[in-house]
Structure 1
């Protein structure tokens, strides 16, 4: 899987970026995501993610992770349909993940675990959203959170 990283904070170490990349590659293998899939991961501060949250979700507050799935069709969007006779092959673009490094640091302290564990948790949580998982009702939450825990534990990033 091809992952583009953007560090808007200029504070994320290359080791942390590599660890997130390894974890997301592991999660992609866990979910049988094709090797040619693509996604981007942006590391932001609280103010940057607050603006995104306000403008796109109508919530004027900083959050920990936001996912924009490319395969989700939004309200009023027209699906892109290619002619069946054409051999058009594009890599699967999963979408964009945005993670607040400040919120990850705050939540690591709040939950009593390492920054690395919180960063990994947020990356996997957002990645699952990009792949159609959600927690809008109790059944979906149980499925998503169970899968999230299973991936993190199998990778060795336990609480």
Structure 2
């Protein structure tokens, strides 16, 4: 999997950027995503997170991670109108699955609040957002159990334990 990494803040240590790239590739293997899969991660501050949260989620506050899932637009592909296009074919034609915006301010705050390392917090945020762009959610207790269970399984297998 290819992950385009951007640090808008200029403050994210290189080891965190490398870890984020590696843990997302690890999570992609766990979900059996194609090697050609692509996504983007941008590290932002709380002010930018607030702007993005307002723009995309209509929520007037900063947040720790914003996940924007990308779905290919079938209307941009010229096929016979009556032809159904399988999801797998769309994914092969456009391997970009989405993007994450991770607030470095929230990562630092939450690592301190939860009493674990900054590496664990960045890993948690990256995997959490990654699962969202791959269709997982936590609106119901059942969804939450599935998503958080898988998230913890990935983090533990990668070596980012509490």
Instruction: Work out whether the TM-score is over 0.5.
Output: yes
Question: For residues 140 and 82 of structure 1, do their structure 2 counterparts lie closer, same or farther at Cα, with a shift above 3 Å needed?
Answer: farther
State the shift of 1:79 in Å.
4.1
Work out which of the residue numbers 96, 101, 109 in structure 2 matches 1:106. Answer: 109
Q: Residues of 1 paired with 2:55 and 2:127: CA distance?
A: 24
2:121 aligns to what? Answer: 118
Work out which of the residue numbers 135, 139, 142 in structure 1 matches 2:142. Answer: 139
Structure 2 counterparts to residues 19-58 of structure 1, below 5 A: 19-58=19-58
Query: So what's the TM-score if we normalise by structure 1?
Result: 0.90
State the shift of 1:109 in Å.
0.2
Query: So what's the TM-score if we normalise by structure 2?
Result: 0.89
Structure 1 residues 59-112: Cα deviation after superposition (integer angstroms, max 9, x where no partner): 11010000000028xxxxx64354279x98524211010000000000000000
Structure 1 residues 17-52: Cα deviation after superposition (integer angstroms, max 9, x where no partner): 011111001000011010000000000000000000
Unaligned runs of 5+ in 1: 73-77
Tell me the SS of whatever aligns to 1:158: coil
Structure 2 counterparts to residues 66-105 of structure 1, below 5 A: 66-71=66-71, 79-80=74-75, 81-83=77-79, 89-105=92-108
State the shift of 1:143 in Å.
0.4
Q: Residues of 1 paired with 2:160 and 2:20: CA distance?
A: 11
Unaligned runs of 5+ in 2: 84-88
Q: Are the counterparts in 2 of residues 36 and 91 from structure 1 also a CA contact under 8 Å?
A: no
